[in-house]
Structure 1
Amino acid sequence: MSARQGKGTVREKEDFDADAAAEILRNAMCGLGTSEEPIIDVVDSHNNAQRQDIAVAFKQSYGKDLIEELKSELGSNFENTVVALMTPPRLYDAKELNKAIKGIGTDETALVEIMCSRTNEELEEIKAVYQQEYEVALEEDLDCDTSGYFGRLMISLVTGGRDVDDTVNDEDADTEAQELYDAGAGCWGTEESKFNQILCRRNFNQLNRIFEVYEEKFGQSVREAISSEFSGSVQDGYTAIVDIAENKPLFFAKRLDNAMRGIGTSDDDLIRLIVSRSEVDMEEIRTAYYYMQPEDDRRTLREAVASECSGDYKNMLLALLNKDD
């Protein structure tokens, strides 16, 4: 298991038996009523690749589509969480992007979260899956549904043009810190294209060096400059890139906190965040979540979720967050 995989709270199950897992799920859905606990146990104890094998074994053994069976037996946010977990990661991203674009209004929060945080390789896979699933290019849908500076940001990101070389060039950092200043705080108006060019194309190590040089030279952070030069969704997008470059787990921790703040819980956001990061970096996100709060009023991510959710939905999310935080 790679170090990257080890940062997730959901991991590959040893001694994996797809047929046995499929049988447990079938038995949980047979007869009067549904036994939710075995479903939670099976889904939580296998990673996504293994869940795909379980779905194949289920169809081979019982002649039924597992996701359709789960949908017919479960309901509400518990159903949404289980179905999300049974969906391949990049297909899930594509479905969430389509929902953000095609729903009532545009869900800029979901667009920013996915488009700003996925790697070039992941974006290429998302685009291919999106095309196959919806018979239209993701770029075309984004172009039709977003506009202005935010639309240009989405199009810049969907090209997947970020540098893959993680090396840092101090001379370039000095030059581009100056260019950002000249495009924003150092001129009348704002040259948005320069922010796009640098924030959407430089690797995150290089961006961090640019941000350091910017603050050293001009006495304010790039985040502060973005806040003063932009507003609305494009400000959120640029700020997200800065946050991800500086501390990706903290970016997701803040997103989780936002999903649970205020009146009611944004369950769509909560499900997407926990499901999509459960195998990637949820261990680090849990730690970031705890330490981002005031020292005298800290609670774990599990405690926060437990206070906001209920029933089998809560139990499923808590299982994904694991018990050792």
Structure 2
Amino acid sequence: MSIFKKFFKDNVHDRDPEKESVKEKEKPKYYGTVIPYPNFNASSDASVLQSAIESKGVDEDVIIAILVKRSNEQRQKIKAVYEASSGKNLVKSWESVLRSDLEDVALALLMPPAHFDAYLLRKATKRLGTDEEVLIEILATRTNSEIQEIKRVFKQEYKQDLEEVIKEETKGDFMNALLALLSAKRDESTEVDMELARKDAKILFEAAETKGDIDVSTFIDILTTRNGPQLSKTFHHYAAVSDLKLPRALQMELSGDIEDCLIAIVKCAWNTPAFFAEKLHNAMKGHGTCEDTLIRVLVSRSEIDLQKIVEEYRAMYENTVHEDIVNDTKGHYQKVLLGLCGPY
């Protein structure tokens, strides 16, 4: 896969996670593109939205301006005030006046993050055929506390434990990997244990070199519990003892959903924004656009690391994400996506 050349520059020895972690500390702490609106007034915004919804020929521009210039927390306050003052459900009001992709992104922005993730996981497991890509993306990229909150909301909204749904909809090593991610036991510190990195690299190498089938459980255990910097250092040591980089070894030994899952975890450990930049690029390349992926990534990362994703996209591909959105979308839907991406 050519994408590995972009992620790993085809030579992991060229990167030093310890030096890069120092640079990280010099950057601003917030990497989202959507920030809380100053001088926020929920009552005023609710009134403006009501007028925009009830005006002859709904004013989408006003709705978009509020959506992309308010944080999710502020949107929740607007929703509460709107419903208290108008006696109408804001979701149903938008469903009655907005259409197609604009409606989808607007409703996504109105959900609290954990509710949006729970909704996506429900949608991925409820339809005919499980959407494994969505399961992998969400569970491999959320923090321990986010996963715990997703599980709580999923149970509350859909009356089922998410773990039980995963057991019903998946199987084998892939199921085990997802359940390990759902256990939310990843080390989230930034500390690197050099001796552990060498030990893990040796264990992974031996697991990959096992005669017959690869020891997948060992990969799952290490990849789902170590922190990102720790795994990055492990990947360095793995490259020193093996003729193959770890992603290539996984590609050669595995196939199907478990291959996709473990490689996604490796990519996220190395560079999460680049992982999402690739997702956005794949959603827009070639003929047709995967609107679900565009909405999912831009909405879910808009208050986390979308600035970094936009920067990685610029570095990895010929066009910027803004340019590709302009080429692949149109109208008010295009406008709201560009608004989420921040200044060009």
Q: Fold conserved (TM > 0.5)? A: yes
**1:311 maps to which of 331, 335, 343:** 331
- Indicate whether 1:231 and 2:255 are aligned: yes
Structure 1 Cα separation of the partners of residues 220 and 333 of structure 2: 39
Query: Which residue does the alignment assign to 2:78?
Result: 54
**1:250 maps to which of 274, 285, 303:** 274
Quick one: which amino acid aligns to residue 264 of structure 1?
G
Structure 1 Cα separation of the partners of residues 294 and 28 of structure 2: 25
**1:151 maps to which of 148, 153, 175:** 175
Q: Which runs of 4+ in 1 moved over 4 A?
A: none
Instruction: Give the share of equivalent positions with the same residue, in percent.
Output: 37
Matches within 5 A, 1:194-205: 194-205=218-229
Unaligned runs of 5+ in 1: none
Deviations 1:210-243 (A, max 9, x none): 1110001113211111111111111111111111
Please state whether the residue corresponding to 1:7 is helix, strand or coil: coil
Query: Which residue does the alignment assign to 1:129?
Result: 153
For the aligned residues, what is the CA RMSD? Answer: 1.2
Please state whether the residue corresponding to 1:265 is helix, strand or coil: coil
Quick one: which amino acid aligns to residue 258 of structure 1?
N
Please state whether the residue corresponding to 1:247 is helix, strand or coil: helix
Deviations 1:8-58 (A, max 9, x none): 111000000001100111000114221100000011110000000000110
The alpha-carbon deviation at position 206 of structure 1 amounts to 1.0
Query: Which residue does the alignment assign to 2:321?
Result: 301
With the length of structure 2 as denominator, give the TM-score of the two structures: 0.90
Residue pair 1:215, 1:221 contacting (<8 A) in 2 also? yes
Structure 2 Cα separation of the partners of residues 291 and 148 of structure 1: 37
The verdict on how the C-alpha distance between 1:50 and 1:80 changes in structure 2, with shifts beyond 3 A counting, is same
Structure 2 Cα separation of the partners of residues 264 and 111 of structure 1: 23
Matches within 5 A, 1:92-131: 92-131=116-155
Please state whether the residue corresponding to 1:33 is helix, strand or coil: coil
Quick one: which amino acid aligns to residue 234 of structure 1?
I
Residue pair 1:165, 1:203 contacting (<8 A) in 2 also? yes
Residue pair 1:185, 1:225 contacting (<8 A) in 2 also? no
Query: Which residue does the alignment assign to 1:222?
Result: 246
Please state whether the residue corresponding to 2:224 is helix, strand or coil: helix
Deviations 1:54-103 (A, max 9, x none): 00110111111111111111011100000000100011000000100111
- Number of residues of Structure 1 aligned to a counterpart in Structure 2: 318
Structure 2 Cα separation of the partners of residues 112 and 150 of structure 1: 10
The alpha-carbon deviation at position 321 of structure 1 amounts to 0.9
Quick one: which amino acid aligns to residue 312 of structure 2?
A
Unaligned runs of 5+ in 2: 1-26
Query: Which residue does the alignment assign to 2:3?
Result: none
The alpha-carbon deviation at position 171 of structure 1 amounts to 1.2
